[in-house]
Amino acid sequence: MQGIIDGLNNFLWTYILIAGLLGAGLYFTIATRFVQFRYLKEMVRVLGDKSVVVDGMKSISSFKSFSIGAATRIGTGNLAGVAVAIVIGGPGAVFWMWIVALLGGATSFIESTLAQVYKVRDGKAYRGGPAYYIERGLNKRWLGIIFAVLIAITFGLIFNSVQSNTISLAFESAFGIDRLVVGGIVTVLTGIIIFGGVHRIANFSSIIVPVMAVLYIGIALIVVVMNFSQIPAVFATIVSSAFGFEQALGGGIGAAIMQGVRRGLFSNEAGMGSAPNAAATANVSHPAKQGFIQTLGVYVDTLLVCSATAFIILVNTDYQSTGLEGIELLQSSLSAQVGDWAGIFIAAAIFMFAFSSIIGSYYYGETNIEFIKKSKTALNIYRVLTMGLVMFGSYASLGLVWSMADVFMALMTIINIIGIVLLSGIAIKVLKDYEQQRSQGLDPTFKPTALGIKNTDCWDEIRYEAKKDAS
């Protein structure tokens, strides 16, 4: 089975996905006139926007939506995933992770803006994502259902196995605790949160995500300061490994690109179609605001957190001789820098990173189960399956779990890329509308009928009054 999965992985990633992801990112970058770079200041500004009150319903704020997206982005991909990429693809894989993030910023803007445009109202909350904009924007519900099935399996089930796998390995390495015991504890905690609904998920994520990110980046900065003289050499190693003559002769460039794109996508999720599910939950006055916010999430994830992991590993020049991989390599590398307590710190950090990812990933599955069919029974069955796969992942083999994640991640990404390329004209029109209103000193509001955009039931019910931006 492992051989079949690996063969399918190589075909999807070598011949389809790398070209599709990088090509789409380049196209969106040009089409939006480098939106991911021009609006860095705006990304930070709109992060502080409050929820807009509509018909007495105060939904999830921009920051909480950002936190849900960050909860799934900032997980094992940033720690164990970077370590795996470096071991298999060499230090050059980090460079390609950066490229995926920089181009992926534009991709994230497009998909998250579309999620806001075509979101739907569900009681006291909003839902949306690729399944929704494929149905409403392309009028292809059948393709939306296929995507919904794939993301429900990928995130709520398989990716959550990856997260629990990393948690159990980290705790076994740091404390010698049996992986089944760790899995049981994580499974119970997961059930407590996911049976509480989207607002409990949002509240949980908005607290734990900032705390875990600040702590981890802080310890990484300590390592950087301790090894400041080595930083130029680390950068040189990353770049030379990405383009070097020696790597070209050995086929290393191909391995670096493949691992960098794979692990970069797993980490920041730009183009995968996952973050739009979080973007749709926010109650904002204009869809472009969530496009900016989720783009910022890509940068925080890869350029900050993933880079932090890479530097912790690469300042130890003998990392290749350890024979370790995944989270155990990171624990060993950090311990070599700051002492044995680092293994305990990484175990605690990975618990916060990965557990918040489990919760956020479950929500992505939930919102797509609701897209296929509104059924309380189906939702409860899905919750139980999620808990079961969390338990399974805690003791499954590392290679099998990551390979399954790669296959399903590839399939859902292909569908999403096709959808957002076909709908990119809508997102670009929305961006131009936002730019025009901001140039007039307004806090932009969205009126889809004025832009000729249809099937925006949620927005058609809202009547906003444009107001001067106090800033």
Tens of pLDDT, residues 327-344: 678 777 877 777 777 777
Distance CA 184, CA 71 (A): 21
**Res. 469 pLDDT band, cuts 50 70 90:** very low
Of residues 459 and 37, more confidence is placed in: 37
Least confident residue range of 39-43, 235-239, 261-265, 370-374? 261-265
pLDDT at site 89: 75
In a domain, 272, yes or no: yes
In a domain, 470, yes or no: no
Distance CA 163, CA 161 (A): 5
Per mean pLDDT, which of 165-174, 308-317, 416-425 is the most reliable? 416-425
**Res. 394 pLDDT band, cuts 50 70 90:** confident
DSSP assignment string, 222-236:
HHHHHTGGGHHHHHH
Residue 439 pLDDT > 90, yes or no? yes
**Overall domain count for the chain:** 1
Of residues 416 and 281, more confidence is placed in: 416
- Residue type at position 136: R
pTM over 0.85: no
Q: What is the phi-psi region of residue 410: left when phi exceeds 0, alpha when psi lies from -120 to 50, beta otherwise? A: alpha
Residue 278 pLDDT > 90, yes or no? no
Proportion of the chain above pLDDT 90, given as a percent: 25
- Residue type at position 38: R
In a domain, 281, yes or no: yes
In a domain, 469, yes or no: no
CA gyration radius, the chain: 21
Closest CA to 209 of 47, 97, 325: 47
User: Counting runs of H as helices and runs of E as strands, what totals does the chain give?
Assistant: 23, 6
- SS3 letters for 425-441? HHHHHHHHHHHHHHHCC
Closest CA to 279 of 53, 79, 43, 468: 43
CB 180 within 8 A of CB 90: no
Closest CA to 76 of 376, 332, 236, 301: 301
Residue 389 is part of a domain; what is its CATH number? 1.20.1740.10
Round the average pLDDT of the chain to a whole number and report it.
Answer: 80
Contacts of 91 (CB under 8 A, 6+ apart): 234, 237, 238, 241, 242, 256, 310, 314
Residue 187's domain comprises 2-463
Residue 12 pLDDT > 80, yes or no? no
Of residues 401 and 228, more confidence is placed in: 228
**Per-residue CA distances from 368 to 17, 67, 147, 213 (Å):** 23, 19, 8, 28
CB 281 within 8 A of CB 366: no
pLDDT at site 34: 94
